[in-house]
């Protein structure tokens, strides 16, 4: 798990996917990336079934004829940096309506990865640009009351993170078939199973407007289907019914609307009746590591 060869700074790239409907926000994000301290961050913008708006000179673009979903679009962006992204050492994945709050984020990433050869993924803190507040759901741990506390974690935020490309070379990229929801946890579990660690860093900030994930029409179905796929792909067989049973109880406790609950159960059924991709259950030592980090893979 060594860093880049020699003493050169780690080379950083950024992958941004867009539906082409946020040209002003995209341009502001690209400007914030261009202002990063240290060596320039190379950028690729992927038009996910849509044309890419005008971008500054030097920003690479890829336009896909159809929407491949979030993981599929990001995987295309990874390959724009060579097979598995190996032309760079670190990749930032940033939402196109986000904005890097500070100019030292890329440099902080370089320093973190150089200092800890076992660190594979960094999850940034997401903050509302107007209030500065971080939603509880954006802190990727169970003890989420203090978003200003950095810590080791067991998953990461999909649109505000940095991944060492060596991780993807070892365990593969994001699961294309997920389309939307839980693709980050799937990669996180595979990375942890391979011996990598994940950090949540409160000092690495992406400004992003406060939103509800349920704004997406497919939210409830995709969340349920992919939760089942996540378990089927990654958990020891004994933990699959425990994990899914806990999440069913949590879903019911939140008292979703009738249509939302119908969509959720439809997705849950779909998760069991459709192919989920390759199964590679994590080792029991990984289960114990997740438990020691405060989030056993049953919740």
> What are the E-state strand segments in 143-289?
151-153, 160-164, 197-207
CA R_g for the chain: 18
Determine the average pLDDT of the residues in 147-168: 97
Q: What does each C-alpha distance from 246 to 59, 112, 124, 228, 297 come to in angstroms?
A: 44, 35, 27, 12, 10
Q: Judge whether 200 and 125 are in contact, CB under 8 Å.
A: yes
Tell me if residue 127 falls in helix, strand or coil: strand
The Cα–Cα gap between 156 and 159 comes to 9
Q: Return the number of other C-beta atoms located less than 10 Å from residue 26's C-beta.
A: 23
Q: What is the pLDDT of residues 93-152, one digit of tens each?
A: 999 999 999 999 999 999 999 999 999 999 999 999 999 999 999 999 999 999 999 999
Q: Which of 231, 240, 219, 239 is closest to 288 using CA atoms?
A: 239
Beta strand 160-164 with 119-127: parallel, antiparallel or unpaired? antiparallel
Q: Quick one: angle between helices 183-193 and 219-234, nearest 10? A: 20
Q: Which of 94, 79, 75 is closest to 30 using CA atoms?
A: 94
Q: What is the pLDDT of residues 213-245, one digit of tens each?
A: 755 558 999 999 999 999 999 999 999 999 999
Q: What angle do CA 147, 127, 243 make, to 5 degrees?
A: 55
pLDDT band of 211, cuts 50, 70, 90: confident
Is the whole model's pTM more than 0.85, yes or no? yes
Q: Return the number of other C-beta atoms located less than 10 Å from residue 119's C-beta.
A: 21
Q: What is the pLDDT of residues 249-282, one digit of tens each?
A: 999 999 999 999 999 999 999 999 999 999 999 9
The pLDDT of residue 90 is above 50:
yes
């Amino acid at each position: 798990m060594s860093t880049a060869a020699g003493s050169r700074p780690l080379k950083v790239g950024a992958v941004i996917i867009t539906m082409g409907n946020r040209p002003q926000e995209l341009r502001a994000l690209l400007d914030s990336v261009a202002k990063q301290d240290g060596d320039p961050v190379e950028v690729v913008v992927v038009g996910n079934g849509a044309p890419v708006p005008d971008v500054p000179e030097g920003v690479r673009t890829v336009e896909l004829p159809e929407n491949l979903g979030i993981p599929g679009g990001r995987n295309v962006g990874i390959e724009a940096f060579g097979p598995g992204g190996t032309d760079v050492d670190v990749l930032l994945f940033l939402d196109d309506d986000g904005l890097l709050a500070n100019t030292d984020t890329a440099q902080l990433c370089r320093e973190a990865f150089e200092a800890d050869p076992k660190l594979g993924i960094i999850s940034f803190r997401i903050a509302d640009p107007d209030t500065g507040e971080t939603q509880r759901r954006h802190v990727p741990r169970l003890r989420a009351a203090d978003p200003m506390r950095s810590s080791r974690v067991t998953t990461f935020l999909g649109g505000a993170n940095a991944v060492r490309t060596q991780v993807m070379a070892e365990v593969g990229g994001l699961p294309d078939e997920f389309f939307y929801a839980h693709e980050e946890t799937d990669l996180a579990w595979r990375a942890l199973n391979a011996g990598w660690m994940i950090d949540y860093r409160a000092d690495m900030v992406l400004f992003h407007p406060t939103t509800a994930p349920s704004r997406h029409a497919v939210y409830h179905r995709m969340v349920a289907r992919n939760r089942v796929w996540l378990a089927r792909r990654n958990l020891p067989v004994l933990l699959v019914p425990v994990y899914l049973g806990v999440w069913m109880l949590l879903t019911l406790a939140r008292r979703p609307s009738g249509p939302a609950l119908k969509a959720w159960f439809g997705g849950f059924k779909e998760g069991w009746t459709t192919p989920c991709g390759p199964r590679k259950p994590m080792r029991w030592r990984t289960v114990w590591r997740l438990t020691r980090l405060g989030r056993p893979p049953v919740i």
